[in-house]
Amino acid sequence: MADDGTILVFAPVPQLTVTVEEPGEVTELHVHPGGQGIWQARMCAALGASVTLCVAVGGEIGRILACLLEQENLRVRAVTRDTGSGWYLHDRRDGARDEIASHPGFPMGRHDLDELYTTALAEGLRSRLAVLSGAAGPKVVRPEVYRRLATDLNTHDVRVVADLSGEHLTAVLQGGVAFLKVSHEELIDSGRAESDDEDALLGAARQLRADGAENVMISRAERPSIALLGDEAFTVQLPQLQTVDHRGAGDSMTAGVATVLALGGDLHEAVRIGAAAGALNVTRHGLGTGHRDAIEELATRVEFTQLAAC
C-alpha cells in the first residue's frame, strides 16, 4: 500500500481542447489537454495529492497532447496507441460555449488496451486510491476494462473512486467502488431513476449501493446534491456562487472527494471538500482548476441535511 495522498487517475483517452475566447478587444486561443480524467487530476494535484496520470495518446493529436501533458503538475505515464486521440474546438467569443467540431478519438484496439491496462494496474498498485474516469465517447474504451481494473485494484486493497455513465458505470460497479459520483441526468437517462425528485434519486442511490458502490453522491446541477454515505443519507447544499462555466464542476467534485480519502480524511470531510471544489470550479474558465485555500474556506459553508434512514 502506498503512502497517504498518492492517487492514480486512469484517463484512458484525453482530448486536445482548443477554445477561442474574446474577453476584451483581443481574441485569445487556448490549447490544452482535457477530458474528464485530466480535469480530475488537475484538481487532485491542486488539493495536495501526489497524482500519477495514466493515458494513451496516438496520431498527430496525440503527439501534441504528449507535449502539453509535460507542462502539467502531474506525473504522467503515457502509452502510445496505434489509433488517433480525440479533440474538440469550442467558440466562446459570445460568452456561451459553442461546439464548432469534435472527435472523441478512435476506438482502442486490443494491443493498445493491453499496454494501457498493464501500465494502469502497475501504477494503481503503487497508489492508495484510484480514480477511474471515462472517455468522450462510449465506444472508445470497452466497458470490460473498468470492471477488470476495479476488481484487480480492490483485490489488492486500493480504493476505487469512479464517475462514469452507461455501460461503463454498470461494469465498474461489478468490480466494486468505494465512492461513486454520478449526475442525476445520467441516472434518469439510463433508467436508474424515474425523475429528479429526492425519493427517486435516493432510491437509485440505494440500488447503486446494492450493485457495488459503498458510497454514492448524486450531483443535481444548481440543486443540492444527494449523498448516501454508508447507511446515512443527506442532501448537500453547495455554496452559491456566480457561474462562469458549469462544465467540469462534477469532475472537480469527484477529485475533491478522492483527494480527501487518499489523504486519510473521513467521508463527510471528503464530501464537503468535493462540494466546495465543484462550486468553485463554476466561477472559472479553466476546467479542473481552483485554489486550495478558497476550496477549504468554501467547505465550511457546505450544509448537510439528513434524510430518512436507509
Q: How many degrees, rounded to 5, is the angle at CA 3 between CA 155 and CA 69? A: 90
Q: What CATH homologous superfamily does 6-306 map to?
A: Ribokinase (3.40.1190.20)
pLDDT tens figures, 186-245: 999 999 999 998 999 999 999 999 999 999 999 987 789 999 999 999 999 887 766 555
Indicate if the pLDDT at residue 154 is higher than 90. yes
Whole-angstrom distance, CA of residue 3 vs CA of residue 64:
33
| Cβ neighbours around 241 below 10 Å, total | 12
Alpha helix (H) ranges present in 163-197?
166-175, 184-189
- Reported as a pLDDT band with limits 50, 70 and 90, residue 279 is confident
Find the farthest-apart pair of alpha carbons in the chain and give their distance in angstroms, rounded: 56
Count of other CB atoms within 10 angstroms of residue 13: 31
Model pTM above 0.75: yes
pLDDT of 43-89, one tens digit each? 999 999 999 999 999 999 999 999 999 999 899 999 999 999 999 99
Per-residue confidence (pLDDT) for residue 1, from 0 to 100: 33
